[in-house]
């Protein structure tokens, strides 16, 4: 897939102010619910109304969506409010039904993005259409999988493309439902600056009281839009109740957002920014130098362990290091997630260096 300005054109054609807002319930539950929410969102900053009619559930027995009848409810909501309609599709039949009901935006969910067979089936069904297609990141932090899904849709001739960042699953307990791993969508932005990128703070946080904060973070990182789950009675929602907000609360969130400029062309700003960037470059150079020296010491330790026939991994020592770094990091105002991720990576690199020494002469 090549960078293509056509991918951003659909966003320009909507003629909406920044950011683009997609909102609506996690699930379409009843016709009354769908229409009620749409009516409350009509005179807001929302441009696209989202509702799941097919819901992929982790285990059988849960609410799996109302199915195709929900598409008829969305048609009525569109006719009454003028909002564009969006649904998640997971197979060719979903695409067929969505197209028959003139749904404007189709999104591929995180569980589907991980499956190249399913994405290809959807791509084949979309061939020759002119719909907006959004691809959510896969559940696991794998940029190649995300790109693969985009490439399959792009190769089907779809140019009205975008991505939705909804965070990544993890076994570790964190404050997020799905950890943001912001560096992954940032790398995607770097590779394809014309590709619209939308943040889904509802799925990242899993908690409605964190949506404001994560929405602001996304805009500060130059995201193009937000997808926020909105329900007329969130606590009674049939799915993902904890992460949905009321239409009134959505309006407050959007009203509180700070929309920042791309840059500032004044000389004082540019000079001061350049000064800070030079300071960061110097510190980055020192960090790389320190890490290089640390790995040299790790190799020396590897040699010592080899001479004394000692295993590489020393769990007690590792726990001591991590606890110490957590405490020092807290003193410097660094988050536990950051310290944990950074020192796990450093520890793994140290193990790799030690293993090279231990296994140097092993056939």
Cα(218)–Cα(182) distance, integer angstroms = 9
Q: Is residue 157 part of a domain?
A: yes
The CATH number of the domain holding residue 127 is 3.20.20.70
Q: Judge if 147 and 273 occupy the same domain.
A: no
Q: Judge if 230 and 317 occupy the same domain.
A: no
Q: Is residue 229 part of a domain?
A: yes
Q: Is residue 1 part of a domain?
A: no
Pinpoint the alpha helices (H) of the chain: 6-13, 31-41, 69-81, 92-100, 110-113, 116-126, 143-155, 183-191, 201-205, 211-220, 247-256, 267-307, 315-331, 336-358
List, in order, residues 6 or more apart from 224 with CB less than 8 Å away: 11, 18, 19, 20, 162, 196, 197, 198
How many structural domains compose the chain? Answer: 2
Q: Is residue 64 part of a domain?
A: yes
Q: Judge if 175 and 286 occupy the same domain.
A: no
Return the number of other C-beta atoms located less than 10 Å from residue 145's C-beta. 18
Q: Is residue 218 part of a domain?
A: yes
Whether 200 and 227 have beta carbons less than 8 Å apart is answered as yes
pTM, rounded to two decimals? 0.82
Name the 3-class secondary structure at 137.
coil
Q: Judge if 216 and 293 occupy the same domain.
A: no
Q: Judge if 155 and 177 occupy the same domain.
A: yes
Of residues 53, 45, 108, the one with CA closest to residue 75: 53
User: Which pLDDT belongs to residue 337?
Assistant: 86
Q: Judge if 304 and 232 occupy the same domain.
A: no
Show which of 197, 226, 256 is a domain's final residue.
256
User: Which pLDDT belongs to residue 363?
Assistant: 63
Phi-psi region of 293 (alpha: psi -120 to 50; beta: other; left: phi over 0): alpha
Q: Judge if 12 and 77 occupy the same domain.
A: yes
The CATH number of the domain holding residue 325 is 1.20.59.10
Show which of 226, 256, 286 is a domain's final residue.
256
Distance of alpha carbon 345 from its chain centroid, rounded?
A: 22
Cα(341)–Cα(124) distance, integer angstroms = 39
Whether 70 and 33 have beta carbons less than 8 Å apart is answered as no
Whether 112 and 122 have beta carbons less than 8 Å apart is answered as yes
Of residues 135, 139, 140, the one with CA closest to residue 150: 135
Domain that holds residue 53: 6-256
Q: Is residue 102 part of a domain?
A: yes
Cα(64)–Cα(79) distance, integer angstroms = 26
Show which of 256, 276, 307 is a domain's final residue.
256
Cα(230)–Cα(26) distance, integer angstroms = 7
User: Which pLDDT belongs to residue 250?
Assistant: 97
User: Which pLDDT belongs to residue 266?
Assistant: 87
Name the 3-class secondary structure at 220.
helix
Q: How far apart are the first and last CA of the chain?
A: 43
Q: Judge if 114 and 18 occupy the same domain.
A: yes
Q: Judge if 193 and 325 occupy the same domain.
A: no
Q: Is residue 363 part of a domain?
A: no
Cα(287)–Cα(193) distance, integer angstroms = 29
Cα(282)–Cα(220) distance, integer angstroms = 25
Cα(43)–Cα(90) distance, integer angstroms = 31
Q: Judge if 63 and 112 occupy the same domain.
A: yes
User: Cis before residue 96, ω within 30 degrees of 0?
Assistant: no
Angle at 352 between CA 351 and CA 358, to 5 degrees: 85
Q: Judge if 250 and 279 occupy the same domain.
A: no
Residues in the chain, pLDDT under 50: none
Q: Judge if 291 and 247 occupy the same domain.
A: no
Q: Is residue 326 part of a domain?
A: yes
User: Which pLDDT belongs to residue 53?
Assistant: 96
């Amino acid at each position: 897939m090549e960078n293509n300005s056509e991918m951003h054109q659909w966003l320009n054609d909507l003629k909406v102010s920044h950011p683009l807002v997609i909102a609506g319930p996690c699930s379409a539950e009843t016709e009354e619910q769908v229409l009620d929410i749409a009516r409350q969102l009509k005179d807001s900053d929302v441009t696209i109304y989202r509702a799941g009619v097919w819901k992929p559930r982790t285990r059988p027995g849960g609410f799996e969506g109302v199915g195709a009848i929900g598409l008829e409810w969305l048609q009525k909501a569109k006719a009454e409010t003028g909002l564009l309609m969006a649904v998640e599709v997971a197979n060719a039949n979903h695409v067929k039904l969505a197209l028959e009901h003139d749904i404007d935006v189709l999104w591929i969910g995180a569980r589907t993005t991980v499956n190249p067979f399913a994405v290809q089936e959807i791509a084949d069904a979309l061939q020759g259409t002119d719909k907006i297609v959004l691809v959510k990141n896969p559940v696991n932090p794998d940029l190649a999988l995300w790109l693969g899904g985009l490439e399959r849709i792009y190769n089907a001739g779809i140019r009205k493309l975008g991505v939705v960042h909804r965070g990544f699953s993890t076994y570790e307990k964190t404050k997020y439902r799905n950890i943001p791993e912001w560096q992954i969508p940032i790398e995607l932005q770097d590779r394809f600056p014309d590709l619209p990128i939308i943040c889904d703070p509802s799925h990242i946080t899993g908690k409605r009281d964190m949506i404001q904060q994560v929405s602001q973070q996304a805009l500060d990182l130059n995201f193009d839009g937000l997808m926020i789950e909105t329900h007329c009675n969130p606590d009674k929602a049939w799915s993902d109740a904890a992460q949905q907000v009321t239409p009134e609360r959505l309006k407050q969130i959007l009203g509180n957002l700070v929309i920042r400029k791309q840059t500032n062309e004044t000389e004082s700003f540019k000079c001061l920014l350049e000064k800070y960037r030079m300071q960061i470059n110097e510190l980055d150079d020192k960090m790389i130098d320190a890490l290089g020296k640390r790995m040299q010491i790790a190799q020396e330790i590897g040699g010592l362990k080899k001479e004394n026939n000692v295993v590489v991994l020393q769990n007690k020592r590792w726990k001591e290091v991590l606890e110490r770094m957590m405490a020092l990091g807290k003193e410097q105002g660094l988050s536990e997630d950051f310290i944990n991720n950074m020192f796990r990576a450093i520890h793994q690199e140290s193990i790799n260096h030690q293993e090279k020494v231990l296994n140097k002469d092993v056939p």
